[in-house]
C-alpha cells in the first residue's frame, strides 16, 4: 500500500501532506525534513528511487519526481510496483494540470483542499482508486459543482444549526 | 456574530503567512489566527466553521498544533450541507488519529452518511472510512460497506471496495463476509471497479487462507481470461499511460495471479501461457511497459516452477540492465537480487552486464550492483570478477571506494583459490585504496602471510616493490614494514624466488631506507611508527652489518615526544647496546600465527574459549601461569598499543619484555595483571614465544624433580590446540625453570662462563628469622659488572607477606635491582624468594663491593624491618 503522499517545494516547505498511517504533527515534520535533506543532496542523473527504510521502517520505498519547483514524493511498501507508482504520480500531476489548467505551486498553495479532494479520488486508504485522469477530473468537477450549488443556498445565514437536532 | 471570526478569509490568511519573512513573523500570524479560531469555537460559531476548519488544515500542514479543532470536524460532518461535510471529512482524515476516542463519536454520522440519498455524500463517507477506520468502526459499519459494494453507481462500488480492504485489514475475521461479493467484482466491466475489486481479492487472500483457496479454485481461470482480454483489447485511450494500454490493471491482475499461483502447481500451470504472452508482447520502450514486464517477472518468480518462463524472466531483467533509464536498472538489480535464490545459474549469465552496473554513474545503482556481484561470486568466477573490481577500484569515485574495497576484500578472502593469489590481490587493493581497508582485513592478511612459509620471500619482495610505487598508502606500508622486519633477509638475498618473479636487487641499506622514510613521513601515525621501530629492532639481527645504522636511528628518536615511541626507542636502544646476548633470541621470527584462532576470533567466539583454557593452565600450574596470556592473535592487534605501556621504567623492562613472571604464589598475579597487559604487547611484538618455550622445556628437564613444573608441563601438553606457543611459554615461565631464561644464554656461552672465574656463594645476612644468600656471576667481557642472585629463606614459623628487599651502595657503585620472584616467603624454609641484582663497580680492582640492605615484610599483618650491611663480598668483584 501507499503510505504517504507528500508534495513540497524546493525550499522544503510542505504543500500537501497525506499520511495513510497516522503520524503526529511533529513526526510529520521530522519526516519532511529528512526527506528534503535526502532529495536535495541527490544528483540529477540518478534514479527516482530512494530506500526509505531508515525513515519509514522496513520495506519502505520512496519514489520522487520533480515538477518545476515542486517535489512529488510517494512512500509505499513492497506490495506496490515502483515503476507503476511512477506512472501513478504522472496521473496525479496530469489531473492537477487539467483541474488548474497549467498547475503551478501557487495553485496548490491556495487550493490545497481541492488538491486533497483530487488525491482522494485517486488514492483511498493507501490503495489506488482510479488511474484515469479524465475520470478523476469528472468526479472532482461534480464535487465542485455540488459545492457551488449548496454555497449559494448557504449565503443566507442560518439561525438554527441543523446538527443540533441530530 | 463573533467579531474575530469575521476577520480574514482563507485566501487572505495564506497570503499573510506567505508574506512572512521570518519564522517568528509566521508564528505570530498563526498565533493570531488560532486565537480567533479558538474564540469562534468557544462561541459555537456556525457560519464560519468550515472556513475555520480549512484554515486549521493549512495551519496543521505547517506543523502547528490544531487539536482544538477536532470537535469542530465532528460538528461539520454532522451538518446537512455538502460543503460542510466535505471540509468536515477532510479535517477528520487530516487532523484526527484513529486511536483517539473522538473518532468513536463520528461513527453514527458516518452510518447516516453511508445511507445518504446523495451519492457524493456517500462517497465522502466511504473515502473517510477507507482512510481512518478503526477496528471498532470497521465492525460497526461493515454491513453498510458490504451493501455499497453492490451499489448501482460504479464510483461508489470502487470506493466501497477499497473501504472493505481497510475493514478486513483492521478486522480479519470479517473477511469471509466479503469473499462472495469480491468474487463477483472480478466479473465487472467497469475499469475502476475491476481494478479495486482485484485489489480487494488480493488483500482478502493475504488475510485469510480460506479466501485464498476459494479464489484459487473459482477465479483463477476467470482472471487469466480477464488478463487475456486486457492484453489483446483494442486501444482504450482513457486508461492509457504513454501509449501502453492500462498498465495498472495489468499489474493488479499479475499481482493477484502471483498470490494464487504461489505454492499451487495447477493454478500456476493455468497462467503459464498468458504470462509468456505478456512477457514477450509488452513493449519495453516506455516506463509503463516496463512496469508491466517488471510485475510479470515478479509473478513468474513467485509462482511454481516453470524453468522456461524463468529464463525468459531473467532475460527480461538482463535487458533492463542495459536500459538507459536509471529507474529500470535499479529495479532490475533489486529483482535479480531476489532471483538469485530461485535460479542463480540464469542470473550468472548476466554477470557481465551486472558488472557494468557497478561502474554506473548513479551511486545507488552502483551500490546495488556491487551487492549483487558479491552474491554472484563463487570459486569459479572469483578470479575474473575480482580482477574487474580491482581494475575499477583505480578509477572509481572516492566515496564509493570504501564500499568497493571492503567487498573486494571479503570476496577475495572468502573464495581465494590459493594463497599466492590472495596475497597478490590484497597487495593490489592495498596499493590502490589502502586507507579504506579495515584493520581486521590487513590483520588477516598478515596471518595468511605468516602461514605461507614458501611465499615469505615473494611477499616481502612484492611489498617492497609496491611501496616503491605507492608509498603514501599507509596500510600497505604497515604490512610492508612488518614483512620487512620479519623476512628482511629474504628481501636482500632473494631467497625463495618463484619462477614467475622478476629478480630484484635490494641492499640492506635500501630495506632500512624504506623503514626509515616511513618512520619519518609526517603522515605516519603512531601505530605505523611503532611497527617501524619493531621492524628496525628485528632487522638489527637480520642485517648485522647495518646494525650500527639501526642503532643510530633508534637512538635519534629516544627523544620522541610520543610516550609510546620514546619508550620503545629507549627500550630497544638498551637491547641493542646492553643485551647483545639475548638480542638474537628476542628478534626471532614471529611464530606462525594460528589461522583458525584468528578466524574464530573474528567470529567473536574466542574469548570464551580462551578463558576456559586459561583457567586450566592456571589451575594445573599452581597458579603461576600468566593470567593475561593472550592468544597470539594479539600480535596483530595493534589497537592494544593504545593501552599505556606499563610503568616498567628502566630497570624492569627486560622482565616485561620477556614476560617472565617469577612469582610463585598466586596472590601477586592479580596486582600484576595491569602491568602484564602492556608487557604482552611488547612481548608479542617481539615474538619471543618460541625460543623461551624450548629453552624452558630443556631447563625443566634438568629440574625434573620439581613437582610443580612437571605437572605444569603435563598441563601444557594437554592444552587445546588453539593455545599458541606464546601462551605455553608464558605459563611455563612461572617456575624456577624460567630463572635461567633471564640469562637466556646459549649453551656455548654458558661454557665460556663456566670456564671463567667463579666466586663462592656467601651468606650475606642472617638473623633469627631470615637468611640471605648471594650467588655471584660475571658477564664475560665485562669485568666491572657483577650479577648477584639473592636468595631469601624464611627461618621462622610464620609466613612473611609483602616482602621487600632494598639495597643501597656507595657512589662508585651502580646498583640495579630486578623485581623479586615473589613477595610472599613461606615459613620454615619451605621455599625461597630470589631476586637479581646487577652491580657495576666503576673502580673495579681498586675498591671492593659494599652494600647496605633493608628488608621489610609483614608477619601476621604486623610490619617488620630488618637492616644490615654486607661487606663480606668475595674479593675481585
- For residue B522, name the pLDDT band (cuts at 50, 70, 90): confident
The answer to whether residue B589 scores a pLDDT higher than 90 is no
Percent helix / strand / coil, chain A, rounded to 5: 50, 20, 30
Confidence of residue B833 (pLDDT cuts 50, 70, 90): confident
Q: Do B61 and A112 touch (CB under 8 A)?
A: yes
pLDDT higher than 50, residue B698? no
CA-wise closest residue to B370 among B378, B360, B379: B360
How do residues A120-161 score in pLDDT, each as one tens digit? 999 999 999 998 888 899 999 999 888 888 765 554 444 444
Record: contact B132-A22, CB cut-off 8 A = yes
Chain A residue nearest residue B94, CA to CA:
A18
For residue B394, the distance in angstroms to the closest alpha carbon of chain A comes to: 22
Among B371, B641, B694, CA closest to B531: B641
More confident call, B432 vs B1: B432
Mutate to test the interface with B, among A47, A52, A53, A60 (most CBs of B within 10 A): A47
Q: How far is B652 from chain A (nearest CA, A)?
A: 55
3 state SS of B140: helix
Helices (H), B689-746: 690-702, 707-717, 725-732, 739-743
Q: What is the pLDDT of residues B358-401, one digit of tens each?
A: 888 888 888 888 888 888 888 888 888 888 888 888 888 888 88
B20 min Cα distance to partner chain A (Å):
13
Minimal Cα distance from B291: which residue of A? A83
Q: Scanning every residue of chain A, which has its alpha carbon at the shortest distance from the alpha carbon of B326?
A: A47
Using the Cβ of A39 and the Cβ atoms of chain B, whether some distance falls under 8 Å is answered with no
B531-568 pLDDT, tens digit each: 999 999 888 888 888 888 888 888 888 888 888 889 88
User: What pLDDT was estimated at residue A159?
Assistant: 41
Who wins on pLDDT, B861 or B750?
Answer: B861
DSSP 8-state symbol, B825 = B
Q: Which residues of A touch B365 (CB under 8 A)?
A: 46-47
Structural domain includes residue A160: no
- Indicate whether A27 belongs to any domain: yes
What is the per-residue pLDDT for B810?
A: 83
CA B118 – CA B741 distance, rounded (Å): 103
Pairing assessment for the beta strands B800-808 and A2-9 based on DSSP bridges:
unpaired
B58 chain-A contacts, CB cut-off 8 A: 112
> Quick count: other Cβ atoms within 10 Å of Cβ B806?
11
A101 touching chain B per CB within 8 A: no
What's residue B347's pLDDT?
Answer: 86
Q: What percentage of chain B exceeds 70 in pLDDT?
A: 79
List the grid coordinates of B501: 618473479
Q: Is A142 an interface residue toward B (CB < 8 Å)?
A: yes
Q: Residue B235 — very low, low, confident or very high, per pLDDT cuts 50/70/90?
A: low
Testing the interface with A: which of B26, B86, B253, B329 to mutate, by most A Cβ within 10 A?
B86
What is the reported pLDDT for B600?
Answer: 59
What tens digit of pLDDT does each residue of B262-281 get?
988 888 888 888 999 988 88
Residue numbers of the domain that contains A87: 2-155
Long-range contacts (CB closer than 8 Å, 24 or more residues apart) made by B355-360: B355/B385, B355/B388, B355/B389, B356/B321, B356/B322, B357/B321, B357/B329, B357/B333, B358/B388, B358/B389, B358/B392, B358/B404, B359/B392, B359/B396, B360/B326, B360/B329
Contacts A78 to B, Cβ<8 Å: none
Distance from CA of B109 to the nearest CA of A (A): 9
Mean pLDDT taken over chain B: 78
B367: nearest CA partner in chain A: A51
Locus of grid cell 492484453: B231
Beta-carbon-side half-sphere exposure of residue B657 (alpha carbons within 13 Å): 25
- In the numeric block, the cell 570464551 is attached to B608
All residues of chain B having their beta carbon less than 8 Å from the beta carbon of residue A14 are 61-63
Most confident of B72-86, B675-689, B808-822, B842-856: B72-86
Question: Is residue B721 scored above 80 in pLDDT?
Answer: no
DSSP 3-state of B146: helix
Are the beta carbons of B473 and B431 closer than 8 angstroms? yes
Chain B hits for A17, Cβ within 8 Å: 61, 94
Q: In the predicted model, what is the mean pLDDT of residues B417-441?
A: 87
What's CA B388's distance to the chain center, in Å? Answer: 26
In a domain, A144, yes or no: yes
B234 falls in which pLDDT band (50, 70, 90)? low
| Record: contact A87-B241, CB cut-off 8 A | yes
| Across B338-367, average pLDDT | 86
Half-sphere exposure of B15 (CA within 13 A, CB side): 5
Q: Is the predicted pLDDT of residue B624 greater than 70, yes or no?
A: no
- List, in sequence order, every residue forming a beta bridge with B870; answer none if it has no partner: B851
The pLDDT of residue A151: 63
Whether the Cβ atoms of residue B293 and residue B282 lie closer than 8 Å to each other? yes
Cross-chain residue pair A139–B155, CB shorter than 8 Å: yes
Among chain A residues, the shortest Cα distance to B167 is held by A125
Report the chain A residue with the minimal C-alpha distance to residue B238: A132
> For B83, which of A24, A139, A147 is closest by C-beta distance?
A147
Cell numbers linked to B767: 638473623
A vs B, Cβ pairs < 8 A, gives 182
Question: Best residue in A4, A44, A62, A81 to probe B by mutation, most B CBs within 10 Å?
Answer: A81
Other residues' Cβ atoms within 10 Å of the Cβ of residue B11: 12
pLDDT score for B238? 67
Cα separations in angstroms, B476 against B392, B462, B526: 19, 11, 15
Q: Which of residues 13-32 of A touch B (CB under 8 A)?
A: 14-18, 20, 22, 24-26, 28-29
pLDDT at B237: 65
Percent share of chain B, pLDDT over 90:
16
Cβ neighbourhood burial of A129 (10 Å; 0-12, 13-18, 19+):
buried
CB contact under 8 A, A49 and B290: no
Rounded to whole angstroms, how far apart are CA atoms B293 and B284?
A: 8
- Name the E strands within B512-664: none
Which band of pLDDT confidence, cut at 50, 70 and 90, is reported for residue A118? very high
The answer to whether the CB atoms of A109 and B18 lie below 8 A apart is yes
Tell me how close the Cα of B438 comes to any Cα of chain A, in angstroms.
25
Question: Which chain B residues contact residue A128 at CB under 8 A?
Answer: 195-196, 199, 248
Q: Which of A29, A107, A113 to mutate to test the interface with B (most CBs of B within 10 A)?
A: A113
Residue A124 inside a domain? The answer is yes
**Cβ proximity of B254 and B299 under 8 Å:** yes
User: 10 Å Cβ neighbour count for B381?
Assistant: 15
Q: What is the DSSP secondary-structure string of B184-248?
A: HHTT--SHHHHHHHHHHHHHHHHH-HHHHHHHHHHHHHHHHHHHHHHHHPPP-GGGEETTEE-HH
Angle at B793 between CA B791 and CA B798, to 5 degrees: 150
- 3-state helix/strand/coil string of B309-354: HHHHHHHHHHHHHCCCCHHHHHHHHHHHHHHHHHCHHHHHCCHHHH
Q: What is the pLDDT of residues B268-324, one digit of tens each?
A: 888 888 999 988 888 888 888 899 999 999 999 888 877 788 888 888 888 898 888
By residue count, chain A amounts to 166
Beta carbons of A17 and B330 less than 8 Å apart: no
Q: Please tell me which of the candidates B90, B98, B294 has its beta carbon nearest to residue A22.
A: B98
Count of H-run helices and E-run strands, chain B:
40, 10
Best of A127, A134, A152 to disrupt the B interface by mutation (most B CBs within 10 Å)? A127
Please count the CA atoms within 13 angstroms of the CA of B314 that sit on its side-chain side: 24
Which residue is closest to A88 within chain B, CA to CA? Answer: B248
Shortest CA gap B476–chain A (Å) = 34
- Phi and psi (nearest 5°) for B528? -60, -45
Q: What is the ipTM of this complex?
A: 0.90
Question: Is residue A117 a part of any domain in this protein?
Answer: yes
Q: Is the pLDDT assigned to residue A72 strictly greater than 90?
A: yes
Look up cell 536498472; give the residue: B329
CATH number for the domain spanning A10: value is 3.30.450.60
A125 to chain B: closest CA residue: B131
Cβ atoms < 10 Å from Cβ of B305: 11
Counts of helices then strands in chain A (DSSP H, E): 6, 7
Q: Answer yes or no: is A161 within a domain.
A: no
B742-764 tens-digit pLDDT: 444 444 444 444 445 677 788 88
Q: Of the ranges A12-21, B653-662, B817-826, which one carries the lowest mean pLDDT score? A: B653-662
> CA-CA distance, A123 to A5, in Å (whole number)?
10
- CA–CA separation, B768 vs B369, rounded Å? 84
User: How does B412-451 read in b/e, with b if 16+ C-beta sit within 10 Å?
Assistant: bbebbeeebebbbbbbbbbbbbbebbeeebbbbbbbbbbe
Q: Is the pLDDT of residue B174 over 50?
A: yes
Residue B713 has pLDDT above 80, yes or no: no
B858, containing H or E segment: strand B851-859
Residue A151 touches chain B, beta carbons under 8 Å: yes
Give yes or no for residue B168 having a pLDDT over 90.
yes
In this predicted structure, the answer to whether residue B649 has a pLDDT above a threshold of 80 is: no
Cα separation, B31 vs B35, whole angstroms:
6
B24: left (phi over 0), alpha (psi -120 to 50) or beta: alpha
Query: Contact at 8 Å (CB) between B34 and B64?
Result: yes
Closest C-alpha to B498, from B462, B529, B532: B462
| pLDDT tens by residue, A3-62 | 999 999 988 899 999 999 888 888 899 999 999 999 988 887 788 888 888 888 888 999
Kindly tell me if the per-residue pLDDT of B105 is higher than 60: yes
- The count of other CB atoms within 10 Å of the CB of residue B768 is 8
Q: B731 is written with which cell numbers?
A: 605459563
How does residue B778 score in pLDDT terms, banded at 50, 70 and 90? confident
Give the total number of structural domains in chain A: 1
- Predicted confidence at residue B643, as pLDDT, reads 39
- Mean pLDDT calculated for residue range B193-197: 92
Instruction: Give the nearest partner residue to A22 out of B97, B126, B288, using CB atoms.
Output: B97
Closest CA to B463 of B398, B393, B514, B409: B514
Question: What is the reported pLDDT for B726?
Answer: 42
Instruction: Tell me, yes or no, whether A35 lies in a domain.
Output: yes
Highest mean pLDDT range out of A69-78, B784-793, B848-857? A69-78
Residue A44: closest CA among chain B residues belongs to which residue? B362
Q: How confident is the model over B30-70, as pLDDT tens digits?
A: 999 999 888 888 888 777 888 888 899 999 999 898 888 88
**Minimal CA–CA distance to B23: which of A77, A54, A12?**
A12
Query: Using CA atoms, how far apart are residues B173 and A57, in angstroms rounded to an integer?
Result: 27
Report whether pLDDT(B609) > 60. Answer: no
Residue A162 lies in a domain: no
| Residue B417 banded pLDDT, cuts 50, 70, 90 | confident
Amino acid at each position: 500500500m501507499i503510505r504517504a503522499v507528500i508534495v513540497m517545494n524546493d525550499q522544503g516547505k510542505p504543500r500537501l501532506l497525506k499520511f495513510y498511517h497516522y503520524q503526529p504533527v511533529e513526526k510529520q515534520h521530522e519526516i519532511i525534513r529528512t526527506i528534503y535533506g535526502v532529495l536535495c543532496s541527490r544528483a540529477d542523473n540518478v534514479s527516482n528511487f530512494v530506500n526509505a527504510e531508515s525513515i519509514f521502517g522496513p520495506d519502505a520505498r520512496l519514489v520522487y519526481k520533480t515538477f518545476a519547483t515542486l517535489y512529488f514524493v510517494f512512500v509505499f511498501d513492497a506490495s506496490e510496483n515502483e515503476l507503476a507508482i511512477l506512472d501513478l504520480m504522472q496521473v496525479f500531476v496530469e489531473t492537477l494540470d487539467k483541474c488548474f489548467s497549467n498547475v503551478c505551486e501557487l495553485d496548490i498553495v491556495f487550493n490545497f483542499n481541492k488538491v486533497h479532494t483530487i488525491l482522494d479520488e485517486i488514492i483511498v486508504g493507501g490503495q489506488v482508486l482510479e488511474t484515469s485522469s479524465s475520470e478523476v477530473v469528472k468526479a472532482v468537477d461534480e464535487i465542485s459543482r455540488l459545492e457551488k450549488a449548496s454555497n449559494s443556498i448557504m449565503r443566507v445565514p442560518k439561525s438554527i444549526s441543523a446538527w443540533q437536532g441530530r | 456574530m463573533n467579531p474575530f471570526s469575521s476577520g480574514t478569509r482563507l485566501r487572505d490568511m495564506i497570503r499573510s503567512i506567505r508574506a512572512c519573512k521570518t519564522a517568528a513573523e509566521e508564528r505570530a500570524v498563526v498565533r493570531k489566527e488560532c486565537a480567533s479560531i479558538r474564540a469562534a469555537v468557544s462561541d459555537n460559531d456556525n457560519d464560519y466553521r468550515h472556513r475555520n476548519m480549512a484554515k486549521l488544515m493549512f495551519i496543521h500542514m505547517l506543523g502547528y498544533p490544531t487539536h482544538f479543532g477536532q470537535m469542530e470536524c465532528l460538528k461539520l460532518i454532522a451538518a446537512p450541507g455538502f460543503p460542510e461535510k466535505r471540509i468536515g471529512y477532510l479535517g477528520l482524515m487530516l487532523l484526527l488519529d484513529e486511536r483517539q476516542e473522538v473518532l468513536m463519536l463520528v461513527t453514527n454520522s458516518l452510518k447516516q452518511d453511508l445511507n445518504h440519498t446523495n451519492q457524493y455524500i456517500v462517497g465522502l463517507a466511504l473515502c473517510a472510512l477507507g482512510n481512518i477506520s478503526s477496528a471498532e468502526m470497521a465492525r460497526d459499519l461493515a454491513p453498510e460497506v458490504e451493501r455499497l459494494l453492490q451499489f448501482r453507481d460504479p464510483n461508489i462500488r470502487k470506493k466501497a471496495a477499497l473501504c472493505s480492504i481497510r475493514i478486513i485489514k483492521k478486522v480479519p475475521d470479517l473477511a469471509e463476509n466479503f469473499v462472495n461479493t469480491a468474487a463477483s467484482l472480478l466479473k465487472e466491466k467497469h475499469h475502476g471497479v475491476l481494478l479495486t475489486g482485484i485489489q480487494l481479492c488480493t488483500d482478502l487472500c493475504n488475510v485469510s487462507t480460506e479466501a485464498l483457496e476459494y479464489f484459487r479454485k473459482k477465479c483463477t481461470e476467470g482472471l487469466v481470461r480477464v488478463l487475456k482480454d486486457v492484453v489483446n483489447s483494442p486501444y482504450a485511450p482513457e486508461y492509457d499511460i504513454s501509449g501502453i494500454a492500462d498498465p495498472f490493471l495489468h499489474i493488479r491482475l499479475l499481482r493477484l495471479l502471483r498470490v494464487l499461483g504461489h505454492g499451487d502447481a495447477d493454478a500456476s500451470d493455468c497462467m503459464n501461457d498468458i504470462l509468456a504472452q505478456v512477457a514477450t508482447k509488452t513493449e519495453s520502450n516506455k516506463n509503463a511497459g516496463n512496469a508491466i514486464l517488471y510485475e510479470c517477472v515478479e509473478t513468474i518468480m513467485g509462482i511454481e516452477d516453470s524453468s522456461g518462463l524463468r529464463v525468459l524472466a531473467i532475460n527480461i531483467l538482463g535487458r533492463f540492465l542495459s536500459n538507459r533509464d536509471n529507474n529500470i536498472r535499479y529495479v532490475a538489480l533489486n529483482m535479480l537480487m531476489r532471483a538469485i535464490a530461485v535460479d542463480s545459474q540464469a542470473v550468472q549469465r548476466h554477470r557481465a552486464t551486472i558488472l557494468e552496473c557497478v561502474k554506473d554513474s548513479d551511486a545507488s545503482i552502483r551500490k546495488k550492483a556491487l551487492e549483487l556481484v558479491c552474491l554472484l561470486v563463487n570459486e569459479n568466477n572469483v578470479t575474473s570478477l575480482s580482477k574487474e573490481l580491482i581494475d575499477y577500484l583505480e578509477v572509481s569515485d572516492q566515496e564509493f571506494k570504501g564500499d568497493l574495497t571492503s567487498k573486494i576484500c571479503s570476496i577475495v578472502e572468502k573464495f581465494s583459490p590459493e594463497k599466492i593469489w590472495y596475497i597478490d590481490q590484497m597487495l593490489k587493493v592495498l596499493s590502490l585504496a589502502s586507507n579504506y581497508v579495515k584493520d581486521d582485513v590487513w590483520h588477516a592478511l598478515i596471518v595468511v602471510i605468516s602461514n605461507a612459509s614458501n611465499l615469505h620471500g615473494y611477499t616481502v619482495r612484492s611489498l617492497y616493490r609496491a611501496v616503491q610505487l605507492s608509498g603514501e598508502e599507509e596500510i600497505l606500508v604497515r604490512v610492508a614494514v612488518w614483512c620487512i622486519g620479519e623476512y628482511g633477509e629474504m628481501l636482500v638475498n632473494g631467497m625463495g624466488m618463484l619462477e614467475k618473479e622478476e629478480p630484484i636487487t635490494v641492499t640492506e641499506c635500501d630495506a632500512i631506507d624504506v623503514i626509515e622514510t616511513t618512520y619519518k613521513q609526517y603522515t605516519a601515525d603512531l601505530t605505523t611508527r611503532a611497527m617501524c621501530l619493531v621492524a628496525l629492532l628485528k632487522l638489527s639481527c637480520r642485517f648485522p652489518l647495518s646494525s650500527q645504522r639501526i642503532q643510530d636511528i633508534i637512538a635519534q628518536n629516544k627523544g620522541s615526544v610520543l610516550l609510546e615511541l620514546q619508550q620503545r626507542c629507549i627500550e630497544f636502544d638498551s637491547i641493542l647496546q646492553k643485551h647483545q646476548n639475548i638480542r638474537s633470541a628476542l628478534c626471532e621470527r614471529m611464530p606462525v600465527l594460528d589461522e583458525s584462532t584468528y578466524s574464530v576470533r573474528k567470529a567473536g567466539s574466542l574469548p570464551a574459549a580462551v578463558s576456559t583454557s586459561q583457567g586450566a593452565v592456571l589451575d594445573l600450574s599452581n597458579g603461576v601461569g600468566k593470567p593475561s596470556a593472550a592468544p597470539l592473535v594479539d600480535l596483530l592487534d595493534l589497537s592494544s598499543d593504545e593501552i599505556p605501556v606499563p610503568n616498567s621504567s628502566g630497570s624492569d623492562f627486560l622482565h616485561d619484555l620477556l614476560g617472565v613472571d617469577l612469582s610463585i604464589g598466586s596472590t601477586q598475579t592479580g596486582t600484576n595483571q595491569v602491568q602484564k597487559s602492556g608487557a604482552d604487547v611488547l612481548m608479542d611484538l617481539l615474538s619471543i614465544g618460541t625460543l623461551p618455550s624450548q629453552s624452558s622445556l630443556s631447563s625443566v628437564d634438568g629440574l625434573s624433580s620439581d613437582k610443580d613444573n612437571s605437572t605444569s608441563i603435563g598441563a601444557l601438553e594437554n592444552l587445546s590446540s588453539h593455545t599458541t606457543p606464546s601462551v605455553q611459554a608464558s605459563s611455563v615461565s612461572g617456575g624456577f625453570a624460567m630463572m635461567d631464561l633471564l640469562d637466556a644464554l646459549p649453551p656455548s656461552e654458558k661454557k665460556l662462563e663456566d670456564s671463567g672465574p667463579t666466586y663462592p656463594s656467601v651468606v650475606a645476612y642472617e638473623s633469627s628469622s631470615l637468611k640471605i644468600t648471594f650467588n655471584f656471576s660475571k658477564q664475560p667481557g665485562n669485568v666491572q659488572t657483577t650479577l648477584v642472585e639473592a636468595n631469601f629463606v624464611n627461618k621462622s614459623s610464620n609466613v612473611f607477606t609483602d616482602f621487600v628487599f632494598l639495597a643501597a651502595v656507595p657512589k662508585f657503585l651502580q646498583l640495579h635491582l630486578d623485581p623479586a620472584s615473589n613477595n610472599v616467603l613461606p615459613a620454615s624454609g619451605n621455599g625461597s624468594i630470589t631476586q637479581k641484582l646487577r652491580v657495576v663497580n666503576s673502580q673495579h680492582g681498586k675498591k671492593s663491593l659494599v652494600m647496605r640492605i633493608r628488608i621489610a615484610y609483614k608477619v601476621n599483618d604486623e610490619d617488620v624491618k630488618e637492616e644490615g650491611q654486607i661487606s663480606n663480598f668475595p674479593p675481585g668483584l
